Amino acid sequence: MTAYIVRRCLYAVLILIGVNLITFWLFFKVNTPDDMARMQLGAKRVTAEAITRWKAEHGYDKPLIFNAEAAGMSRMTDTLYFQKSLEMFRFNFGQSDDGRDISHEIQTRMWPSLALALPVFLIGLAAYISFALLMAFFRATYIDFWGVVLCIAMMSISGLFYIIGGQYLVAKIWSLVPISGYAPGIDAAKFLFLPVLIGIIGGIGSSARWYRTIFLEEVSRDYVRTARAKGLAETTVFFRHVLKNAMIPILTGAVVAIPLLFMGSLISESFFGIPGLGSYTIEAIQAQDFGVVRSMVFIGSVLYILGLLLTDISYTLVDPRVRFE
Amino acid sequence: MFLPIILWTDALIFVLLAVIAAFAFYARQHEHLRAPWRRVAQTPAAVSAAVVLLAFVAVGFLDSLHFRQAIEPAGNAEAKRPAGAATAYAPEVKSVLDVALAHLSSRTERTYSAPLATHAYAKETMEVPGRGQVRDYPRLRNGGAHLKDAETEWGWDILLTVFKGMGLALFAWSIAAFLLLIAVKPTAPAYASIGAFSDAVWRGKTVVPWRTVLITLGLIFLIVVPATLLARGYHVLGTDKVGQDVLFLSLKSIRTALVIGTLTTLVMLPFAVLFGIMAGYFCGWIDDIIQYLYTTLNSIPGVLLIAAAVLVLQVQMEASPELFPTTAQRADFRLLFLCIILGVTSWTGLCRLLRGEALKLRELEYVQAAQAFGVSHWNIMLRHILPNVMHIVLISVVMDFSGLVLAEAVLSYVGVGVDPSMISFGTMINAARLEMGREPMVWWSLASAFMFMLVLVLAANLFADAVRDAFDPRVRVSPRNRHMAEAAAA
């Protein structure tokens, strides 16, 4: 099993290199530093000197992959690929266009993101599983039918509607919580209440319905029939046997999202003015700050790959049927 | 007198319609394909949703027939224009829908006005003869302009128009219902006469739930006809910040939503199918490469990849403006690019499903028999594997649609969606998101965008569910491709 995990880790590194190459191609080859300079300097009639100066200031005045003018090792190291792309593996992201250190920004903004995403994830998971459990337990009754109808209706509503509607109703009409903003420490709770609630409501439709199908699939298995044939009560069958087995795909499926919780969520952070990584990304996109977008793409990929690794490991832990080849 | 223009997305829409028509023709002749569709047609929710979807598709289709109007030279046209000279065409690209709704788009107000209002939404200082300067709500230029005394006549006028519209709608509906019953009678030969058939429809006893179809059709008529009549004198859904009619904007948004929902899948489908089947059929190093490719693409968070790609595209389009002679062509190109990049981020899910299925199928006897007979790999994949995974493709296509429509709104909010000049639900919501904070509140733009989206997506979801249940109740298409919509909500 150790060999299996080591192999998965090596594969993860390979994928990360692929991601790195794709982002490099997109941000330096398709979109050259000259384009970037012209974009930042604004007008179409930018002089060549201005572009050269901008590139020198921001460290983009190097060849892409191979520096023929340098000597020795710096032929490879004094290039854009090495300085801007490979450095990301050391979590050294350089500076954003307004001169701030991106790594430092990420370290400070990570925590508000987590403070929003973690409760949504944990409470949400519990809520979705309970709702799915309710529908599956009363399967083929009116509770089940209307539950599914509710799920489909809630899936069909745009996530933006939940946010705008929730802000209007809870914050503006009822004045229960502030409309937006953030405070560090324990004060954050009153700012986070509404976004967490909306985050949970927004995901309930698709998740609860998805978990319901998992429960129903498990209910139709042979071991359930055996348990019923033994004379066990339906509640015992459901909560002792079905629930336990259905939790395997549900929990291992949820593991992949855990590292991504650090990334926060783009939309609700920007709507609620929470200074997390999601709103950082949106600001960067709107300001066309390629350095920040590139860093966020890289971090997002690292976290996702980490999630895949955790999924693999959790499968081997909970499901003895997984083979290691 | 006009020059037809086929934009890129128009061409792809026509291709899509042709593909659907060809598939329908093919499916008609094959019982194993007809049976699941018959099951879909027997689900009341699905046929009701299909009727609604058809109404949306009709609007979207009208909006896809583009042309440029000829400009008549001023004065005596015949005399001035030399024989054989090329006609000049207006630079503006219009669609058939634009012409049909010309009375909506041309009658703008100065700024916000509430649905069906006759007076502006905010007070202004005006000169009134005899009373000097007065601060009051000014009359709208077009909203209720036909009324002499707006305060007293307004309510009755609207009530009367609505009743007239409902009467007209019922009349039109009964004609439509009659024609429909005659048209579909041959599909139910069990009933002796048209009378017996309509009696069965009335009691809801037919195999295909025609009563549901008629009720849905009736509801659509009851909404559309009075709204059309009202729209001649009022702004039915109000006007937005720059005074444009919100009903017009909502109707124009439909095409954008449909294009994003369908063309994205059309663009990514060839790659997903080819790579998925190849990976599963060949195994070995081809499988390794394809798996590596999709895991890598999948690792980049979808929204961020889209954002990065669209940012790069923006820069490139700024750099070469000569490629796009009109704004419509520019916006259209960006829409197509958005479809492609959405496709790149969403093909991996389908590819993985197809790979798994092809892995199973290649071990089956009939594939091994074909191999033993020396059938080439391509032919095996095309003739023996592809038809047996088509149900997965179909299910994932219909399931993806609603997620993509919702994703468009989110992406446009982030600023990496459609071109700002293109009317879409996303741009409508984006423009209107600060209006809830105004006093008095401006709710109609947002409400209209959300209502139209809800109806479209709900219909699509109900239809997709029925298709999935009919084609394969055991295939679980996980809600992976809803990740963007979910990321927005979470």
pLDDT tens across B406-427, in order? 999 888 888 888 888 889 999 9
Based on the fold, state whether residues A265 and A128 are members of the same structural domain: yes
Please give, rounded to a whole number of angstroms, the shortest distance from the CA of B150 to a CA of chain A: 32
Measured over the CA atoms of residue B110, residue B113, residue B117 and residue B121, the dihedral's sign is negative
Q: Is residue A18 situated within a structural domain? A: yes
Record the tokens describing residue B471, joined without a space. Answer: 């084609």
Query: Which of A161, A263, A290 is most worth mutating to test chain B (most B CB atoms within 10 A of its CB)?
Result: A161
Partner-chain contact B488 A18, CB within 8 Å: no
Residue B413 forms contact with A (CB below 8 Å): yes
Please give, rounded to a whole number of angstroms, the shortest distance from the CA of A317 to a CA of chain B: 23
Q: Which of A71-80, A231-240, B73-82, B101-110 has the highest mean pLDDT?
A: A231-240
Nearest to B489 among A19, A162, A282 (CB): A162
Give me the total of CB pairs closer than 8 Å, taking one residue from chain A and one from chain B: 169
Q: Where are the domains of chain B?
A: 254-471
Distance CA A149, CA A151 (A): 5
Partner-chain contact A266 B303, CB within 8 Å: yes
Partner-chain contact B488 A198, CB within 8 Å: no
Residues counted in chain A: 325
**Is pLDDT above 50 for B35?**
yes
pLDDT confidence of residue B482: 42
Q: Is residue A100 situated within a structural domain? A: no
> Average of pLDDT values for B286-296?
91
Residues of chain A positioned with their CB less than 8 A from the CB of B406: 158-159
What φ, ψ does residue B68 adopt, rounded to 5°? -120, 130
Going by C-alpha positions, the residue among B219, B262, B212 that lies closest to residue B40 is: B212
pLDDT confidence of residue B179: 93
**How many Å separate Cα A23 from the centre of its chain?**
18
Q: Which of residues 36-75 of A touch B (CB under 8 A)?
A: 36, 38-39, 44
> What Rg, from alpha-carbon coordinates, does chain B have?
27
> Tens of pLDDT along B159-210?
999 999 999 999 999 999 999 998 988 888 888 888 888 888 888 888 889 9
Record the tokens describing residue B399, joined without a space. Answer: 């399931």
Q: Which of residues 390-409 of B touch A (CB under 8 A)?
A: 402, 406, 409
Nearest to A26 among B295, B309, B406 (CB): B309
Q: Which of residues 437-476 of B touch A (CB under 8 A)?
A: 437, 446, 450, 453-454, 457-458, 461-462, 465, 476
pLDDT confidence of residue A75: 67
Partner-chain contact A293 B307, CB within 8 Å: yes
> Tens of pLDDT along B207-224?
889 999 999 999 999 999
A234 exposure class (CB count in 10 Å sphere: 0-12, 13-18, 19+): exposed
Q: Tell which of A55, A90, A125 closes a domain.
A: A90
Nearest residue of chain B to residue A125 (CA atoms): B490
CA dist list (Å): B350 to B260, B357, B365, B473: 17, 11, 25, 17
Identify the weakest region by mean pLDDT among A130-144, B99-113, B217-231, B334-348. B99-113
**How many Å separate Cα B483 from the centre of its chain?**
20
Partner-chain contact B296 A18, CB within 8 Å: yes
| Residues in contact with B257: Cβ distance below 8 Å, sequence separation at least 6, in sequence order | B60, B405, B408, B424, B425, B453, B456
- How many folded domains does chain A comprise? 2
Based on the fold, state whether residues A55 and A130 are members of the same structural domain: no
Q: Which of B41-45, B103-107, B152-156, B220-224 has the highest mean pLDDT?
A: B220-224
SS3 B4: strand
What φ, ψ does residue B419 adopt, rounded to 5°? -60, 140
Residue A252 forms contact with B (CB below 8 Å): no
The region that residue B413 occupies, defined by phi over 0 for left and psi between -120 and 50 for alpha, beta otherwise, is alpha
Based on the fold, state whether residues A155 and A218 are members of the same structural domain: yes
Residue in this structure with the two tokens 């499903």, named with its chain if needed: B353
Alpha helices in B415-443 (DSSP H): 425-432
| Residues in contact with A259: Cβ distance below 8 Å, sequence separation at least 6, in sequence order | A303, A304, A306, A307, A310
Based on the fold, state whether residues A132 and A204 are members of the same structural domain: yes
As a three-state string, the secondary structure of B276-332 is: HHHHHHHCHHHHHHHHHHHHHHHHCCHHHHHHHHHHHHHHHHHHCHHHCCCHHHHHH
Residue B287 forms contact with A (CB below 8 Å): no
Please give, rounded to a whole number of angstroms, the shortest distance from the CA of A160 to a CA of chain B: 7
Q: Which CATH number fits domain B254-471: 2.30.30.100, 3.40.640.10, 1.10.3720.10, 3.30.70.100?
A: 1.10.3720.10
Q: Is residue A65 situated within a structural domain? A: yes
pLDDT confidence of residue B58: 94
Q: What is the pTM for the complete model shown?
A: 0.89
Are the beta carbons of A260 and A276 closer than 8 angstroms? no
Nearest residue of chain A to residue B321 (CA atoms): A44
Partner-chain contact A39 B318, CB within 8 Å: yes
Residues of chain B positioned with their CB less than 8 A from the CB of A204: none
Distance CA A294, CA A280 (A): 12
pLDDT confidence of residue B84: 57
Tens digits of pLDDT across chain A (325 residues): 788 888 889 999 999 889 888 888 888 877 777 777 777 776 566 777 777 877 777 777 777 766 777 666 666 677 777 777 777 777 777 777 777 888 898 989 989 999 999 999 999 999 999 999 999 999 889 999 999 999 999 999 988 899 988 888 888 888 888 888 888 878 888 888 999 999 999 989 989 999 999 999 899 899 999 999 999 998 999 998 999 889 888 988 888 888 888 887 888 898 888 998 989 988 888 888 888 888 888 888 999 999 988 988 888 887 776 665 5
Measured over the CA atoms of residue B117, residue B122, residue B126 and residue B130, the dihedral's sign is positive
Are the beta carbons of B478 and B395 closer than 8 angstroms? no
Partner-chain contact B319 A199, CB within 8 Å: no
Query: Which of A158, A173, A180, A302 is most worth mutating to test chain B (most B CB atoms within 10 A of its CB)?
Result: A158
Going by C-alpha positions, the residue among A168, A310, A202 that lies closest to residue A251 is: A310
Partner-chain contact A158 B406, CB within 8 Å: yes
Q: Is residue A7 situated within a structural domain? A: no
Structural domain containing residue A228: 111-318
**Is pLDDT above 70 for B3?**
yes
Going by C-alpha positions, the residue among B306, B88, B367, B47 that lies closest to residue A297 is: B306
Residue A119 forms contact with B (CB below 8 Å): no
Where is pLDDT greater, at B391 or A39?
B391
- Give yes or no for a cis peptide into B440 (omega within 30° of 0): yes
Residue in this structure with the two tokens 């390794």, named with its chain if needed: B288
A100 exposure class (CB count in 10 Å sphere: 0-12, 13-18, 19+): exposed
What φ, ψ does residue B53 adopt, rounded to 5°? -60, -40
**Is pLDDT above 70 for B315?**
yes
Q: What is the DSSP string of B55-108?
A: HHHHHHHHTT-EEEEEPPPSS-HHHHSPTTPPPPEEEEEEEHHHHHTHHHHH--
pLDDT confidence of residue B82: 54
Q: Which of residues 11-40 of A touch B (CB under 8 A)?
A: 14-16, 18-19, 22-23, 26-27, 30-31, 35-36, 38-39
Residues of chain B positioned with their CB less than 8 A from the CB of A296: 304
Residues of chain B positioned with their CB less than 8 A from the CB of A288: 311, 314-315
Based on the fold, state whether residues A166 and A76 are members of the same structural domain: no
Residues of chain A positioned with their CB less than 8 A from the CB of B453: 158
Pairing outcome for strands B124-128 and B89-95: unpaired
Based on the fold, state whether residues A225 and A311 are members of the same structural domain: yes
Partner-chain contact A285 B413, CB within 8 Å: no
Q: Is residue A19 situated within a structural domain? A: yes
Are the beta carbons of A79 and A18 closer than 8 angstroms? no
Nearest residue of chain B to residue A308 (CA atoms): B299
SS3 A265: coil
**Is pLDDT above 90 for B456?**
yes
Nearest to A210 among B453, B462, B479 (CB): B479
> Average of pLDDT values for B454-461?
94
pLDDT confidence of residue B420: 83
pLDDT confidence of residue B273: 94
CATH code at position A291: 1.10.3720.10
CA dist list (Å): B108 to A190, A302, B449: 43, 51, 19
Nearest to B311 among A152, A156, A293 (CB): A293
Q: Is residue A106 situated within a structural domain? A: no
Nearest to B450 among A35, A38, A158 (CB): A158
Confidence tier at B339 by pLDDT (50, 70, 90): very high
| Predicted-complex ipTM score | 0.87
